[in-house]
Amino acid sequence: MRIVMKFGGTSVADAERIRHVAALVVSATAEHNVVPVVSAMDQVTEMLLDLADAAASGNSMQAEALLKAVRDKHLAAAYALGAQQAVTALLERLEGLVRGVLALEELTPRARDAIVAFGERLSCAMLAHVLGARAMDGREAGIVTDDHFGEADPLMDLSMYQVGQSLGPLLDAGERVVVTGFVAANQHGVTSTLGRGGSDYTATILGAALRADEIWIYSDVDGLMTADPRSVPDARLLARLSFAEAVEMGKFGAKSMHPRALEPAAAHGVPVRMRSTFKPEHPGTLISDKQAEGGAGAEGGRVSIVRCVPMLKNLAMVNIGGAAMIGRPGSASEVFAALAGQRVNVHMICQSVSEAGISLVVGGGQLDRAKGALEKTLRGVGSPRTIEVVPNVCVVAAVGSGMRGTRGVAARIFTSLARAGVNVIAIAQGSSEMSISIVVEASAGPLAVRAIHDEFSLGS
């Protein structure tokens, strides 16, 4: 089989972990044709972003301190692995860039990408050294993006073609490579990055382009769970999930994938397996097109309608009200245009059929920006609108493709919440019927998750 193996930051956190990853690659190589993809070492992306900001604001003390921290961390690992030559050369180039930014006190998104890309280039160089493989960055591998630096979108057809052309023949010839996650280049060859968590995306793009049999995403968790075990002690690992269910779950949880990472895999039918570096023998969670055996939602012989109950925290709700919106086309577009103008991401939307109010859920950190944008725009439109905010909410979702067309699911969900004494603030269900999202007060979130989890007997 051809397998893309992607290792997250904690999997390459130090020399010992990198050796462990190398051992996993070597043992997989005995059986399969393997393409390893690596993230930056744990915390390095954050350090590099801070470093870029410190340099841009001319704070040379802080920049030097961060530069030293990045250098020390990588050199410690590099010496232990004997990879100091490659690592030192990369660190020198990083230093050169940072000094340029410091001197100019200016940081373009493009320069920021050039700096942050060093995280993956460094970890890739080390793993490649241990494996005796060739280190390739995303650009050499052929991933081409638009110019949206910081969160670039791959030009998919071109990338598919180029990856096939560049990596395909190497792999067919049995050459060993390691590819940087996250890093790509625009059409002019200028370094870009795919957004936070983008190494997952790299892995699925490569998997699709190279017609891999599976894409294995390694992290420090065993796979996807029925709920966060911190809220639900008897949460279980999910053995299988459909792409559609995984997409619904996608944005929940700290260990979630890059939001668009499943797209290329789903589009090309390449199964994705989420697994743990710490338990290499454990099969993890398989995300594929195929239904679990025994029909939708079967899990170890059990069939469940709701498969998992993820929760999204640190959110706020904004309610926009006013009779002026009733029957007036364009009201919603004013609201969303105002938010988009301030780059506020909207997680959830509700509007009742009376049209007298729109409720939206935004990230807690974006609340002030959202409110400011709405006040400015809507107060100016002539007809009065009220803007009310509810800080500190969370969204609990019930997800499962077995919910589609099954009667009584909503009734069971809300009855279980009522029994647990949870007040429901707002609800959304898309017509895919694959998930119901419920806004509750932040403090009631874990209780709500447990209530739904118990109702559908998802625990062990």
Which positions touch ligand ASP (CB under 6 A)?
Answer: 8-9, 39-40, 45, 119, 181-182, 196-200
Q: To which H or E segment does residue 361 belong?
A: strand 357-363
Q: Looking at beta carbons only, is 9 or 142 nearer to Mg ion?
A: 9
Residue 437, strand partner residues: 397, 428
- Residue ranges of alpha helices (H) inside 30-59 are 44-56
Q: Looking at beta carbons only, is 199 or 304 nearer to ligand ASP?
A: 199
Distance in Å, CB of 193 to ligand ASP, minimum? 8
Residue 182 interacts with, from Mg ion, ligand ASP, none (CB under 5-8 Å by kind): ligand ASP
DSSP 326-352: TT-TTHHHHHHHHHHHTTPPEEEEEE-
Residue type, 60: S
Residue 359 interacts with, from ligand ASP, Mg ion, none (CB under 5-8 Å by kind): none
Site mask for Mg ion (CB under 5 A), range 17-56, x = bound: ----------------------------x-----------
Site mask for Mg ion (CB under 5 A), range 131-170, x = bound: ----------------------------------------
What are the residues whose beta carbons fall under 8 Å from the beta carbon of 161, sequence distance 6 or more? 142, 209
Distance in Å, CB of 385 to ligand ASP, minimum? 38
Q: Looking at beta carbons only, is 192 or 199 nearer to ligand ASP?
A: 199
Distance in Å, CB of 46 to ligand ASP, minimum? 7
Residue 196 interacts with, from Mg ion, ligand ASP, none (CB under 5-8 Å by kind): ligand ASP
Counting contacts by CB under 5 A, is residue 181 touching Mg ion? no
**Tokens representing 183?**
């890093």
Q: Strand 183-186 vs strand 144-145: parallel, antiparallel, or unpaired?
A: parallel
Q: Looking at beta carbons only, is 123 or 401 nearer to ligand ASP?
A: 123
Interhelix angle 44-56/109-116, nearest 10 degrees: 140
* CB 185 within 8 Å of CB 191: yes
Residue 198 interacts with, from Mg ion, ligand ASP, none (CB under 5-8 Å by kind): ligand ASP
Residue with tokens 């909207």: 346
Distance in Å, CB of 202 to ligand ASP, minimum? 8
Spell out where 123-234 has E strands: 134-136, 144-145, 177-180, 183-186, 191-193, 214-219
Q: Looking at beta carbons only, is 184 or 344 nearer to ligand ASP?
A: 184
Q: Looking at beta carbons only, is 8 or 154 nearer to ligand ASP?
A: 8
Residue type, 451: A
Q: To which H or E segment does residue 70 belong?
A: helix 60-81
Residue type, 116: V
User: Of 1-9, 54-62, 272-280, 307-315, which part binds Mg ion (CB under 5 A)?
Assistant: 1-9
**Torsion 26-31-37-43 (CA) sign:** negative
* CB 66 within 8 Å of CB 95: no
**Tokens representing 136?**
């390739």
Distance in Å, CB of 410 to Mg ion, minimum? 37
Count of residues in contact with Mg ion, rule CB under 5 A: 2
Closest listed residue to residue 286, CA positions, set 253, 236, 242, 255: 242
DSSP 392-448: EEEEEEEE-GGGTT-TTHHHHHHHHHHHTTPPP-EEEE-TT-SEEEEEEEGGGHHHH
Q: Looking at beta carbons only, is 39 or 331 nearer to ligand ASP?
A: 39
Distance in Å, CB of 123 to ligand ASP, minimum? 9
Distance in Å, CB of 45 to ligand ASP, minimum? 4
Distance in Å, CB of 238 to ligand ASP, minimum? 22
Report the distance separating Cα 191 and Cα 203, nearest Å. 18
Distance in Å, CB of 379 to ligand ASP, minimum? 38
Distance in Å, CB of 302 to ligand ASP, minimum? 33
Residue 264 interacts with, from ligand ASP, Mg ion, none (CB under 5-8 Å by kind): none
One residue of 3, 5, 9, 48 binding Mg ion per CB under 5 A: 9
Residue 409 interacts with, from Mg ion, ligand ASP, none (CB under 5-8 Å by kind): none
User: Of 4-12, 133-141, 239-247, 424-432, which part binds Mg ion (CB under 5 A)?
Assistant: 4-12
Contacting positions for Mg ion (CB under 5 A): 9, 45
